[in-house]
Amino acid sequence: MSRPTRALALGLLPLLLLTGLILVVAAGLKSYCLTDWQPGDQPKVCYNDIQTLWHLRDMDQHVAPYQGAVEHTVDAQGHEVIRLGAGQIEYPVVTGVFAWLSSLPVDSVNGFWIVSALALTPFAFLSVLPLYRIVGPRALLFALSPQLAAYAYLNWDLLPVAATAGALWAWHRQRYLLVGVLASVGACAKIYPGFLLLPFLIALLLDRRVADGARMVAAAAGTALALNVPFMVANFEGWYGPFAMQSRRVNDKTTNSIWYWLFDAHQTSIANLCAWAAVFALWGVLIRVGVQRRRSEGSFPALAVAGAMVAGYIAVGRVDSPQYGLWLVPFLVVLAVPWRWVAVFTVTDIWLWAQWSWLWGTPGWMGNAAMLARGLTVLALAFVLARSLEIKPTGSQGAGERRATTNNQPSSPQTSSGAATWRTPSMTSVASDEGTSARPGT
């Protein structure tokens, strides 16, 4: 074993062990639902979408993904309701296939959760590994995050999180084809990893690297087509059903978003329109912040804008499930976000999860306060992320001295052209200068 390989292994071992420890905690939080949990019970700390959707989506029938019929009905108030049946789940194809494969070996709701948790576990390690290769021991921010303990086995979000972490590493290594593939695979699990492609493409085009940008986009498009076309051809209505269902989802308290307060439950079309308008407007502002930084710093901060866009989508999108907090943790790892913002985000995020999971019966104002605090924090965090510098390793193994730089598009895997040395972050000191479902189906 070579010396760099040995150093990498020795650095990774404690990180992986700590990740495993947090996953044990995550499993323990869900253990109560393997005893007396029944569908329709008041939420408890063990609540998870995996077991709930086993019942609601007829997963026990083991029908191939997206092949069942989508039922269109009308409720007592005359509003259209879409019910997803056997083989249907309200997520894109990667998550749907993963859930289906996890259901095949079992015939009980508890077995489904156990198999799903075991199958999701490697993706936690696949998230930590690329982050370590980027920033070394700072990857502990992900491995020991309360979000990993709370959300690892609540839904299937570890799939897109792992794809995102891989895409961040590929971007650092200038492997643009791989960036496109991983971002697309992630978007076919949950939509948000696809957002990374826009700031990455802007950075490449501003650097006049048109061919690299074209290859990245082509790889993303080809991957998306390869994953989706077979289901579209086999049963287009079944494939489109999850998107239709989400677009008509009742605008009630379970969305955890500002639109719950602004519109009636069945004003979904208006709420959707306003939510997407707010998302695109906020993205425009965040991209402008990135362009302004390019003028002063010499390069477009692609990673910073990417993290900001994800945060913006969470803050003003129509649905904000608590587990979406896990989406942001990789960006907190690779960007020099001030510790106070990491702390505020963590506290408000876990407060919302606690309120949503096992404090549901408390007075309504407490839930509203948690939603408001988490939402405002994530909105503010979007601008903090947009202004944050990237933490980049000086060594190829992601260990040793690290530095924050204004250049989020490296000219080589180890160095940055035109980068401005800022300060050397450590596990105890990172930049403090900001300037330089709720229910199933979420």
Q: Which two tokens stand for residue 254?
A: 């379970």
Query: In whole angstroms, what is the distance from residue 393 CA to residue 334 CA?
Result: 10
Query: In whole angstroms, what is the distance from residue 228 CA to residue 193 CA?
Result: 16
CB-CB contact of 22 with 149 (8 Å): yes
What integer pLDDT is reported at residue 100 of this predicted model? 95
Query: In whole angstroms, what is the distance from residue 57 CA to residue 91 CA?
Result: 12
> For 368-377, how does the pLDDT look when each residue is reduced to its tens digit (9 = 90+)?
888 899 999 9
What integer pLDDT is reported at residue 431 of this predicted model? 38
What integer pLDDT is reported at residue 435 of this predicted model? 36
What integer pLDDT is reported at residue 410 of this predicted model? 42
The torsion angles phi and psi of 90, rounded to 5 degrees, stand at -85, 40
> For 141-162, how does the pLDDT look when each residue is reduced to its tens digit (9 = 90+)?
999 999 999 999 999 999 999 9
Low-confidence ranges of the chain (pLDDT < 50): 394-441
CB-CB contact of 329 with 138 (8 Å): no
Query: In whole angstroms, what is the distance from residue 297 CA to residue 28 CA?
Result: 47
Q: What is the CA angle 387-349-273, rounded to 5?
A: 75
What integer pLDDT is reported at residue 80 of this predicted model? 75
Inter-CA distances, 221 with 226, 283, 433, Å: 9, 22, 38
CB-CB contact of 119 with 218 (8 Å): no
pTM: 0.87
What integer pLDDT is reported at residue 248 of this predicted model? 84
Helix/strand/coil for 73: strand
Q: Which two tokens stand for residue 429?
A: 């000191």
